[in-house]
Amino acid sequence: MIPVVTAAEMRALDRATIDEIGLPAMTLMETAGRAVAAAAIRMLAPSGPHPVAVVCGPGNCGGDGFVAARVLRASGHDAVAYLAVARDQIRGDALAHLLVLERSGGVVRELVSPSDLTDLKPAIAGAALVVDALFGTGLARPITGHLAEVVGAMNLAALRLAVDVPSGLDADTGAQLGACVRADRTVTLGLRKVGLTSAPGFAVCGVVEVADIGIPPSLVAASTITCHLVEERDVLRALRRPTPLDHKGSRGHVLVIGGSPGMRGAGRLAALAALRAGAGLVTLAGPEADSHAPDPVMTRTLAGPLDLARMTAIVIGPGLADLGSWVAEVLAGGVPAVLDAGALTVSMDTIAAAAGPVVITPHPGEAGRMLGITAAEVERDRLAVARALAARTRAIVVLKGARTIVCDGTLADDHCAINPTGGPALATGGSGDVLAGVIGALLAQGIAAGLAAQIGVYVHGLAGERLARGAIASDLPEAVARAIASLE
């Protein structure tokens, strides 16, 4: 997995590199600025030179910008540093690099008042490239007023390159704090930041590249980072490989409980997805037998206590209007289970008392209802919400949405995995039912619940990426099978 850090975690790694390893802060800043300049040169057309506006703020991000402006000028481009704060706010290593820039013949223009912006806005907006070195991870409050106007001018440029984090983006949550730079590319320093990888922040970062600025891998390995981005190789390691001796019994039996009258499609989608994701047998059960279920799916009518003896995984909730006692029976039975949709109306204490592994798959509205907050509040800090649900339910939480988050409530370290796959094709009714079926199939094949959830969201997202505009949820199960086959 790729480590993903908060601003505080990154500052701690920077400080350890300086204090324990002995790499000077000036050197870290020089390395960072050179990486930004290299990315800028790659973005510019080869037929230079080009005008480049480097908009610098008061902190270390501004210092990176001063280095980038100097290197760009040395490369033949007409790079101008625009100082968006009063000069006396520049201190420490950033001030040292500002002085180096000026002594090297660099051009620095002040952009600290509305009249400055009026004069300089055409040059910034008309630059071939704007380098956003305004705030990075150092932003503590929303960007408003004059600085919001500066951001507006930056957003008018043909290309925008952000240093570390687009200015206006909360590095820890991905929320936008007032005006925000819409970057075409972001050079993040040392390690990826949470705000760049989670929703909604990833949508304004463009292509993200990580610049090695000298943080030793040993320091990263020794740190207590509790968030990672799922990689393809993580999925490959955990997927169950087919063998010549496989048979339907060895690949597990999934029971899907759902598809009440009027909502039959949800249960059918979950059942078909479980088959396409590798389950050997799938039974679809509900208040009434579904005579139109997909041909390979067995159906039954639920009457009396559940018989879970032959089941290796259960998916309960898709299209289920009346829960009866079924959720309680499933949770007491000890069989690995996925709770989706209607099943998520049970109390969190009931889920926490389950006898076996449980995966819950709420969308933001359902997550908000469970915690007594709004969906908008969920979206403002998705990692915090996933962790809160995991702590309350002691389950594996799959918080659905753009950049789905998986948080394992059975662990004590608040670890979260952010899924990088997915796209607009998944924004259609029924795609969540498919995901529940996919995770159920992976559980049925003996994959541990936390890994099953991560693999499930990854291959589900990969399938969605490969579907064209206009795809519907019934296209997803077969696309999931193709995605798994491509990984294998």
Residue range 291-302, pLDDT digits in tens: 677 778 877 777
**Where exactly are the structural domains of the chain?**
2-225, 232-487
Mean pLDDT of 245-266: 85
Banded model confidence at residue 178, pLDDT cuts 50, 70, 90: very high
Question: pLDDT digits over 66-82, tens only?
Answer: 999 999 999 999 999 99
Q: Are 81 and 108 in contact (CB under 8 A)?
A: yes
Question: pTM for the complete prediction?
Answer: 0.92
The answer to whether residue 48 scores a pLDDT higher than 80 is no
Q: How far apart are the first and last CA of the chain?
A: 18
What integer pLDDT is reported at residue 244 of this predicted model? 82
Three-state helix/strand/coil letters over the chain: CEEEECHHHHHHHHHHHHHHHCCCHHHHHHHHHHHHHHHHHHHCCCCCCCEEEEEECCCHHHHHHHHHHHHHHHCCCEEEEEECCCHHHCCHHHHHHHHHHHHCCCEEEECCCHHHHHHHHHHHHCCCEEEEECCHHHCCCCECHHHHHHHHHHCCCCCEEEECCCCCECCCCCCECECCCCCCEEEEECCEEHHHHCCCHHHHCCEEEEECCCCCHHHHHHCCCCEEECCHHHHHHHCCCCCCCCCCCCCCEEEEECCCCCCHHHHHHHHHHHHHCCCCEEEEEECCCCCCCCCCCEEEECCCCCCCCCCCEEEECCCCCCCCCHHHHHHHHCCCEEECHHHHHCCHHHHHCCCCCEEECCCHHHHHHHHCCCHHHHHHCHHHHHHHHHHHHCCEEEECCCCCEEEECCCCCCCEEECCCCCHHHCCCCHHHHHHHHHHHHHHCCCCHHHHHHHHHHHHHHHHHCCCCCCCHHHHHHHHHHHHHHHC
Looking at the structure, give the CATH architecture of the domain made up of residues 2-225.
3-Layer(aba) Sandwich (3.40)
CATH superfamily for domain 232-487: Ribokinase (3.40.1190.20)
Mean pLDDT lowest for which of 49-58, 206-215, 292-301, 332-341? 292-301
Question: pLDDT digits over 440-460, tens only?
Answer: 999 999 999 999 999 999 999
Which two three-digit tokens encode residue 321?
């209007």
If one counts every other C-beta atom within 10 angstroms of the C-beta of residue 13, the result is 21
Banded model confidence at residue 260, pLDDT cuts 50, 70, 90: confident
Question: pLDDT digits over 196-213, tens only?
Answer: 999 999 999 999 999 999
User: Distance of alpha carbon 34 from its chain centroid, rounded?
Assistant: 28
Mean pLDDT of the chain: 93
Mean pLDDT of 49-63: 96
2-225 matches 232-487 in fold: no
The answer to whether residue 303 scores a pLDDT higher than 80 is no
Mean pLDDT of 447-475: 94
% of the chain exceeding 70 in pLDDT: 99
The answer to whether residue 118 scores a pLDDT higher than 70 is yes
The answer to whether residue 188 scores a pLDDT higher than 80 is yes
